[in-house]
Amino acid sequence: MTHESTAVGLASAYSNVTNASGDWWRDAVIYQVYVRSFADSDGDGIGDLRGVRSRLPHLARLGVDAVWLTPFYVSPQADGGYDVADYRAVDPLFGDLADADELVRAAHGLGLRVIVDVVPNHTSEQHPWFRAALAGEPGARERYLFRRGRGADGSLPPNDWESIFGGPAWTRVADGDWYLHLFAPEQPDLDWTHPEVTAEFDSVLRFWLDLGVDGFRIDVAHGMVKADGLPDIGRGAQATLIGSEPLPFFDQDGVHEIHRAWRRLLDSYEGRRIGVAEAWAPSSERLALYVRPDELHQAFNFRFLTCPWDPEAMRTVIDESLSATTAVGAPTTWVLSNHDVVRHVTRYGGGRQGLARARAAALLMLALPGSAYLYQGEELGLPEVTDLPPESRQDPAFRRGRRPQIPVPAGAPAPESGPAAPGIIAPRDGEPPTRAQADAGAGPQVQTCCGPQADSRLAPERSPAPQDQACCRPQVDSGPAPEPQLAPQAQGHTGPEADAGAGQAPDPQTAPEAEGQDGLRDGCRVPIPWDGPEPPYGFGPAGSWLPQPPAWAGLSVAAQTGDPHSTLELYRAALELRRAMPGLGAPGAGPSPDPRGMRWLPAPDGVLLFTRPGFACTLNTRPDAVELPAPGRPVLSSAPVETDGRTVRLPPDSCTWWAF
């Protein structure tokens, strides 16, 4: 039995009514569009809003409920649009405000809701507020986190915090003050204790809600509030601690009052507008605080994304996730890939094995209670592109070190201000390159650090570069069938760097370079293939901003459409059945919802088996086939299954759905 044989007939036999209450988000399947890599309408090689609008029928046919758009606002693009200079305007790179309005209307006409990114933790250095701060306008710096430095002459950063991209989280300006940037220096952090910041973002949210968007994905939703006094952490490699240990710059209790205020604002609009937290927290219980009844509607479940291909680990993550969100009356979300992590085909081993596991994981995800997020191209089975040339890469962490963040030693002549924003200390002529700079010309490293991958960041000339560091994720390429490898959790770091300097603040003048992200996230952002035998595969009239592999012709939407064995048709069938079968979808509403009667049943080692009303799901994580009693009638499978109605032989690395 293969998946194509039963989907259409079954869809007509059921009627899913989980959305009858209007809480569409509780079981929604939401598709992430990375705008610059989805579709290009004008031939500049970069995706845009008109391109997205032209491809909306693909999403409607796929069967998703909503589309989430990454930032398209006016931006210098120091970090792929997550450095916003004007929150109420569309960057000409992506179109104009009329294009945004037409996209929302077109999506609604197809029955799709639209969620847009909002970036409240930081602005661009080109934002009028920050330019006013550097120009010395009275009170302007109070909107950001400017501080005097430490040491007799203030030449040391105010504390030991590190940027997510590596290096200190502080940059010194010409008059001696320092400003905080948890990401790139071009992204100064806002001070959310300032009333003008609160009022401004209320206005920004209303602007887009009035245009008709259905909600917001809140970038760094855990980061807007910092601990009082900005205390030292006392250890390095801080990016690897995110999501596993408390940190004074993330997941502070004060963020919840911001989200409560935003929930009240969202509820004041008709149509169930939602807020989705991109939040890292040390535990499922801490994450659940973001989705209490008076806060946001959803929070990304990164623990599921980072879970290895291991049945016990998967069951633990599923149980803990459901328990935490059920306790606060919220749905759980599930996600396998996004614009910040290695695509799960490659994480699961790459080649045939990685694709088989990715297909199985997709069916597992879509069978679980709650809401699922798909990342563009995963429905095509796209692998990570691991052989991008260095000159093509734009992740800011790839070029770390091109803009020094430590000032000249005390007594040395002050450098002139840099070109990007007046008053920021610029690189010095004749300064020796860092090790990362020297390595950058030697070709890309086919590895990624297993620490959390925070928000999407694309690079300017002055942005960070990768580090030469120990890593615990499998080293794979996108070629055919590598040796089997298991995907470790992408959380925490097992190398010696994690313990270096524990208990004491690193000396910024002598300590080794701080560990940040690996800088290789461009591999998951390569524009997706639509049709045709060669690049750019229908992406646009000309080329693409990142080169596409020549082997992707067979993975295009056109090539897979109508092929019953393709990954695209598997996703289409799964989403059709998910809507049709009453046992799938959202948990019940209320303060203590029952997650749709989900129940684990005994199964052989390496196999997960759970039921929901009228439905069963089996996942075989083993490298060999497993025989067990058939839990029902097979209706969809990621690989052909053999059954006589009484027993079933599950293929290796496969997932099967059953009706009973």
Catalytically annotated residues: 219, 278
d(CA 59, CA 106): 12
d(CA 382, CA 344): 9
Helix, strand, coil percent values for the chain (each to nearest 5): 25, 15, 60
Check the CA dihedral 477-481-482-488 and report its sign: positive
d(CA 158, CA 147): 7
* Chain center to CA of 274: 18
Contact partners, residue 615, CB within 8 Å, separation at least 6: 367, 581, 583, 584, 632, 657, 658, 659, 660
β-sheet bridge partners, residue 607:
620
Identify whether the C-beta of residue 547 lies closer than 8 Å to the C-beta of residue 535. Answer: yes
Beta strands 66-69 and 113-118 are parallel
End-to-end CA distance of the chain: 16
Closest Cα partner for 223 from 191, 194, 262? Answer: 191
Tokens 């701080």 correspond to what residue?
514
CA distances from 172 to 157, 180, 383 (A): 8, 9, 41
d(CA 553, CA 576): 26
d(CA 258, CA 87): 18
H or E, element range at 263: helix 255-267
Closest Cα partner for 563 from 379, 383, 384, 356? Answer: 379
Contact partners, residue 483, CB within 8 Å, separation at least 6: none
Identify whether the C-beta of residue 374 lies closer than 8 Å to the C-beta of residue 32. Answer: yes
- Enter the DSSP assignment of 380: G
Buried b (16+ CB within 10 A) or exposed e, 249-261: bbbbeebbebbee
CA distances from 246 to 311, 317, 463 (A): 28, 20, 27
Identity of the residue numbered 538? G
d(CA 484, CA 560): 26
β-sheet bridge partners, residue 637:
656
How many beta carbons lie within 10 A of that of residue 242, not counting itself? 24
